[in-house]
Amino acid sequence: MSVLSEELREKIRAEFPKYPNKRAVTLPALHLVHDTLRAVSREAIVEIAELLELHPAEVHDTMTFYNFFKDETHPLGRHRVWFCRSISCALRGGEELLETVCHRYNVHPGETTADGRMTVEFAECLGACEGAPCILVNDVCHMNVTPDSASALIEKL
């Protein structure tokens, strides 16, 4: 049985005309699969490789190079919360913010809460230094975050 739905396969095929060759669709395909399934399993890698006419090892190499994608043993929670660890955020309490939130929700960076609600990660820079410390909740950046405001954001998820 196929891991990728026909709808997801069509979304990947829709990327083909945007790129000079199928190999160039590897990263967009990984993003589409990861966003839909919250992880990229070995079976999904094989199916992506078939669509792109690549060896599965080539797709796996791309996936593991970026360190953004999760595999089936470590799927994403329903929400992804990134904590910035740039020097600007660190100087304004970003490390303490990450530590406080991890303690409050009993999770470590790179892990998902036991209820599957949230995956906590850190990024080297979120590009919002003027609002340090900042976090990215799903795809929305929040600046000048405190432990209390971070908890309020997380509780709304």
In tens, the pLDDT along 46-77 reads 999 999 999 999 999 999 998 789 898 888 99
For the stretch 125-153, pLDDT in tens is 999 999 999 999 998 999 999 999 999 99
Distance CA 51, CA 42 (A): 14
Q: Tens of pLDDT along 13-55?
A: 999 999 999 999 999 999 999 999 999 999 999 999 999 999 9
Domains and CATH numbers, the chain: 6-66 (1.10.10), 79-156 (3.40.30.10)
Burial of residue 68 (number of CB atoms within 10 Å: 0-12, 13-18, 19+) = middle
Report pTM. Answer: 0.76
